[in-house]
Amino acid sequence: MAQLLFEGEVLRREVEGLSQNVYHQLQDAGVKVTVPISAEKTCHSSKNTKRSPSSLIQVKRRTYNSVSQKIFSRKRLESFHDPSRCWQKISKWALSLTESFQFQLTFALLICSLCAVMGFEVQYRGFETGFKLGYTGYTQSAAELWPLADPAFEIMDIFFGAAFTLELLLKLVAGGCTFFKDVWNWLDALVLIVWYLERMTAAAFPLEPMMLRLFRLSRLMRMVRLVKIFEQCDALYLMLTSIRASFAALAWSSALLLLIQMMLALAMVTLVEPYLSGANSTGDKYAVYSYYGTFTRAMLTLFEITLGNFVPVTRLMMQDVSEVYVIFALIHKLVIGFAVVMVITGVFVQETMTVAQTDNTIMINQKERALSLHVAKMTALFKAADFDGSGRLDKGEWLQVCDDYSVQLWLAAMGLDVSNAALVHELICAKSNKEDQKTAGCSHHPCPVDIP
């Protein structure tokens, strides 16, 4: 009996020690723990009342159960192994990967490589077409000229398809529902769907050559993605923005020019029709008809003499129809070819650049480039003026540099008047010991500073 009481006392102390340790650990971890009243009463009563070994074992079990319920509850286990949190980590990793410069550069190079491979493939098919036509110089078939071309094209086609599939999956994981809001993603998905259809249908049954060409031409749509990548370069972004801004001006310019040419085409067809239908007319009627026989032919001829070479058409009409046509040709070239086209071009360029210069990204880039250029020029000036190499532009050094008339004009062109160089030195350079601070000080004066 004494042995049982001793073991019970040991168990009680172990339970109390375990509960206290677990309690402090949970408190340190930020978990709020409340001790059950039954367990608290049991602990307090156990100090003053002797219990049987069976009751002590029950106390130990209840304490273990309460602690385990606190720690290993279903909600906490779900927080430890939450699939949504794992998916968020994967999505975040995929987003950082797809938005990285290395990722975009890699797939830009892949698109360029795909274009090069398509060029070689078209060249290969051209060899075969020239051989079948018996064209001069093509005495061998394409398979004889490039023996390993077919398997190489097949392997590269599968490689590019797998690479772009991986890219699309990574973007889908990274973007989630926002993936479907991007037009470029729909374009990539469409190209991949067409590619998979081509692969599956080609394996199941042979395709007609026309259908196969359409499937292959769909891969050219990937080249459009280079436009999005090129927008990250300042010069290319400026050109692309200008092209997008030119559509409105282009529409009105084209409408005006088209209306003028339609009026002239109707007039020319009407005037030339008696010559073509007359029985006594001499000259090459077929050649005249090829230029002004129908409305569409007349439209093409007028655009040719407006934007191209007007001499061959004018000489033919002068010899076969009438020399009066020379007057019409010269007036048309001077008025339409020079005046109207040049005015349209000027307005077109002006409207395009006006819209492009109001773009926020272009304005920021231009300001950054101007600031960088200013910093580079000021840094070169301070390095040249620091004769002793101390890293500090002394007043004597500054005055010596500003005595140079060319330097004064150069600084005035950048908006800094140094007619009173001593005062300028006190305003900008006196409190700055470092070269970059002086450069920054000069950059704060974009407008001319008039020194009395």
Total number of domains in the chain: 4
Does 98 share its domain with 74? no
* pTM, entire model: 0.51
Scanning the structure block, which residue is given the tokens 């061998």?
140
How far is Cα 387 from Cα 217, in angstroms, rounded to an integer? 65
pLDDT in tens, 275-320: 888 776 667 888 889 999 899 999 999 999 998 888 999 999 988 8
The answer to whether the CB of 422 falls within 8 A of the CB of 395 is yes
pLDDT in tens, 75-128: 444 444 556 678 888 888 888 888 888 888 888 888 889 888 988 998 998 999
Does 113 share its domain with 188? yes
Residue that is last in its domain, among 314, 334, 357: 357
Does 49 share its domain with 101? no
Nearest to 268 by CA among 230, 225, 314, 337: 314
Higher confidence at residue 181 or residue 44?
A: 181
Does 290 share its domain with 185? no
Confirm whether 88 is domain-assigned. Answer: no
Burial 135-161 (b: 16+ CB within 10 A, else e): eeebeeebeeebeebeeebeebbeebb
Residue-range definition of the domain harbouring residue 256: 236-357
Confirm whether 452 is domain-assigned. Answer: no
Does 296 share its domain with 256? yes
Confirm whether 451 is domain-assigned. Answer: no
How far is Cα 30 from Cα 252, in angstroms, rounded to an integer? 70
How far is Cα 360 from Cα 238, in angstroms, rounded to an integer? 11
Confidence of residue 259 (pLDDT cuts 50, 70, 90): very high
Residue that is last in its domain, among 357, 376, 398: 357
Confirm whether 321 is domain-assigned. Answer: yes
Does 277 share its domain with 305? yes
Does 177 share its domain with 283? no
| Beta strand extents in 82-133 (DSSP E only) | none
Helix (H/G/I), strand (E/B), else coil: 275: helix
Does 57 share its domain with 129? no
Does 37 share its domain with 24? yes
What CATH number is given to the structural domain containing 105?
1.20.120
Scanning the structure block, which residue is given the tokens 């071009």?
345
**HSE, side-chain direction, 13 A CA sphere, residue 411:** 26
Does 156 share its domain with 226? yes
Does 311 share its domain with 226? no
Confirm whether 417 is domain-assigned. Answer: yes
Confirm whether 448 is domain-assigned. Answer: no
Token pair listed for 425: 């030195």
pLDDT in tens, 163-187: 999 999 999 998 888 888 888 888 8
Residue that is last in its domain, among 197, 230, 263: 230
Confirm whether 85 is domain-assigned. Answer: no
Does 182 share its domain with 263? no
Number of residues that make up the chain: 452
How far is Cα 211 from Cα 217, in angstroms, rounded to an integer? 10
